Chains A and B, each alone.
Chain A
Amino acid sequence: MGGGARKSRKFATFRLFPRAGAADPNDRVFVRVDNNDYTVPGFGDDDAAFDPSLSSTDDAADHFSSGPLPDHLRREILELGLPDDGYNYLHHLRELRPSAASFVPNQDAPPLPLDVKAYDASKVRIASGKVEDELDEGRTMCKVAAKTAPLSRIERAVDPDIARLLDESDASHGGGSEDEGLEEDFVIMANRTEGEEEEDDEEEEVVDDVFLSDVEEEEELEDDEGEPKPRVRRLLDEQFDLLALEEYGDTDDDDDRGVRDGECELPTEVIDELKLFHSQNVSVTEEYRTPADFVHGKLDSSTTEDVDESANVLKKCAEYAEKYLNETAEEEEVVLVSESSDESEMWDCETIVSTYSNLDNHPGKIQTPGNHKKRLPKVFPGETATTKDIIKLQGKEKLPVEYLPQRKRNGVKEKKTKPTEAPTDENFNKGAQKETKEEKKARKAAVKEEKREARKTKKELKGLYKFETQKAQKVAAVTGPASIRLM
């Protein structure tokens, strides 16, 4: 990089760690990981993680790195069972949160015989037997019982939810009505008192509130009754109401008016139909009659005409069929089914490039290793199939001979070809004549040279082979199966 100073690092890095000492692994905290000065207000240090009781000691001591800890700290550390090695382990302590498990000494009730079961009856109310409306909250079991025992983890006698429901039902029926069920003519009553309904409801709600406020203290109730408390009306609320009226007021006006009046008047057609039904005089006490009987005006059941009826059935069926057919021919509805189009996902170019997962996508292709020093020509004259892509393994060690590094072989072999050819010519020429001493010497020397060279190449090759097998073994250790033995 250039000679300029390093840019100020205006970033903060946080890591998500599970909160220390938390049972739930999803309880995580952002912990700052870098050392820059940049602060982010939203990710400030969590208050719970910071122990306020220790802050005073920290401020005063300001990170003891040298010198022994003050005695009171050391004593505290020792009390906790931590080693006294000059490090302030109190740094890592934290106050117990209310949600964390608190340790309460276990008070087991005296062990009961197997056929006895203990319940917590402290909340059970004792009926006073006097006026039912009076609330005897004072007379709980605790105050009435002659003898009480300390409890811990004993089941409640009355389920709080059930108790609450019972109390509510009591209150709404004016407190302890004897028939807890509905009245017999509740429908008529309900219809009659439609107009008076609203007033009744309000009264009951008031009663409920008064009654339940006491109950709520003892049993942790959700505040259902008190919830729709009107909050302060804002300007926005009025504006919204206006808007709603404007947009929707015209269409709903008629319906709303009807509902608001409280008299759900049925449309006249429905009433007429009902009257019709009423006039049919379906009475229970008389003998059973089907509606068909009424249509035909029969007063008592008789089966004499049934036989004739069945004869007409076929005719009637044919009539109906024709009618039905004609109807369907006229009314052919065209039903439009609109297919829901798949929502087109919006990708930006960076996303598209990276949708491939590394599980499937391996950008680098593995190819056979090329060898620029290959001796053999690529295609022999007369050879039909090109075996360029097959790597042949030769020899005992199964090495790809063609791809091994071959040093000096070409040079050595070329040199050899020339001297070997010359003496052969001379031998042929001088076969009959005797060889001079020099020529004999030269010949023998040449042979010696040959042998020396051969020995040398053999040694070289052997060394090369061993080297290559070692290398191959390393590779095979990672890739090849262990059954193939290389060395």
Chain B
Amino acid sequence: MAAADVAYAPPMKSGKMGFEGTQEVQHRIRITLSSKSVKNLEKVCGDLVKGAKEKKLRVKGPVRIPTKVLHITTRKSPCGEGTNTWDRFEMRVHKRVIDLVSSADVVKQITSITIEPGVEVEVTISDQ
């Protein structure tokens, strides 16, 4: 067969050799997730880390920042009369930080996955 004469060439690598990583510039990306509910937050965290690992990125796993607990202690009574009963209200804010090294587009893709309501996502991109 004539086709057998053609030498088998290895598949060519796209992009210039020696350029940063693959074609796109890599950035250091920090994703900060904060929320009032731990369950949603942990789920989103897990999804992000899983998504990043699937894309074979360098991930620094979810670092858990200590929870901030905001207290409000007030008298239950609207007037001063009666037993001195107090209401204690608290709001817990949980925060997680994920570090990645990738290009901006990939991060956009990863974060476009459904995010639970109530989870705030902040992405900080900086040069490597």
Using CB atoms and an 8 Å cutoff, list the residues of chain A in contact with chain B. Answer: 10-16, 25-26, 28, 30, 33, 38, 40-43, 236, 238-239, 241-243, 245-246, 347-348, 350-351, 354-359, 473, 477-478, 482, 485, 487
Which chain B residue lies CB-closest to A240?
B11
A236 cross-chain contacts in B, Cβ below 8 A = 11
A347 and B38 contact, CB distance less than 8 A: no
A239 and B122 contact, CB distance less than 8 A: no
A10 and B127 contact, CB distance less than 8 A: yes
Contacts A15-B122, A16-B122 known; 4 new A-B pairs at CB < 8 A: A30-B108, A33-B122, A42-B108, A245-B3
Q: How many Å lie between the Cα of A351 and that of B84 in the bound state?
A: 47
- 23 A-B contact pairs sorted by A residue (CB < 8 Å): A11-B125, A11-B127, A12-B124, A13-B123, A14-B124, A14-B125, A16-B121, A28-B112, A38-B126, A40-B27, A42-B103, A42-B107, A42-B108, A238-B3, A238-B6, A239-B9, A243-B8, A348-B61, A351-B60, A354-B61, A355-B61, A482-B85, A482-B86
Nearest Cβ on chain A to B27's Cβ, whole angstroms: 7
Q: How many Å lie between the Cα of A477 and that of B122 in the bound state?
A: 37
Q: Per-position contact with A for B97-128: 1 when CB-CB < 8 Å, else 0?
A: 00000011101100110110100111111110
Which chain B residue lies CB-closest to A482?
B85
Which chain B residue lies CB-closest to A483?
B83
B67 and A358 contact, CB distance less than 8 A: yes
Using CB atoms and an 8 Å cutoff, list the residues of chain B in contact with chain A. Answer: 3-4, 6, 8-9, 11, 27, 38, 42, 60-64, 66-67, 71, 73, 83-86, 88, 94, 103-105, 107-108, 111-112, 114-115, 117, 120-127
B115 and A16 contact, CB distance less than 8 A: yes
A357 and B38 contact, CB distance less than 8 A: yes
Q: How many Å lie between the Cα of A104 and that of B58 in the bound state?
A: 50
B62 cross-chain contacts in A, Cβ below 8 A = 351, 354
B64 and A25 contact, CB distance less than 8 A: no
Q: Which of A30, A42, A246, A350 contacts B63 (CB 8 A)?
A: A350
A358 and B125 contact, CB distance less than 8 A: no
A354 cross-chain contacts in B, Cβ below 8 A = 61-64
Among all A-B residue pairs, the 5 with the closest Cβ atoms: A42-B104, A351-B61, A11-B126, A477-B86, A16-B121
A43 and B104 contact, CB distance less than 8 A: yes
Q: Which of A241, A245, A478, A482 contacts B73 (CB 8 A)?
A: A478
A26 and B124 contact, CB distance less than 8 A: no
Of the listed residues B4, B11, B88, B124, the one surrounded by the most CB atoms of chain A closer than 10 A to its CB is B124
Q: Using known A-B contacts A12-B125, A16-B123, A478-B71, determine if residue A358 contacts B94 with beta carbons closer than 8 Å.
A: yes
Nearest Cβ on chain A to B40's Cβ, whole angstroms: 13
B9 cross-chain contacts in A, Cβ below 8 A = 239
Which chain B residue lies CB-closest to A44?
B104
Nearest Cβ on chain A to B90's Cβ, whole angstroms: 9
Q: Which of A13, A43, A246, A357 contacts B42 (CB 8 A)?
A: A357
A478 and B122 contact, CB distance less than 8 A: no
Q: How many Å lie between the Cα of A356 and that of B73 in the bound state?
A: 30
Of the listed residues B63, B83, B86, B88, the one surrounded by the most CB atoms of chain A closer than 10 A to its CB is B86
B71 cross-chain contacts in A, Cβ below 8 A = 478
Q: Using known A-B contacts A26-B114, A478-B88, determine if residue A350 contacts B38 with beta carbons closer than 8 Å.
A: no
Which chain A residue lies CB-closest to B24?
A42
B60 and A358 contact, CB distance less than 8 A: no
A358 cross-chain contacts in B, Cβ below 8 A = 38, 64, 66-67, 94
A477 and B88 contact, CB distance less than 8 A: yes
Q: Which of B6, B85, B111, B122 contacts A13 (CB 8 A)?
A: B122
Q: How many Å lie between the Cα of A25 and that of B121 in the bound state?
A: 14
B111 and A16 contact, CB distance less than 8 A: yes
B83 and A482 contact, CB distance less than 8 A: yes
Q: How many Å lie between the Cα of A485 and that of B108 in the bound state?
A: 58
Q: Which of B8, B66, B67 contacts A239 (CB 8 A)?
A: B8
A348 and B117 contact, CB distance less than 8 A: no
B86 and A242 contact, CB distance less than 8 A: no
Q: Using known A-B contacts A42-B103, A351-B61, A478-B71, determine if residue A239 contacts B124 with beta carbons closer than 8 Å.
A: no
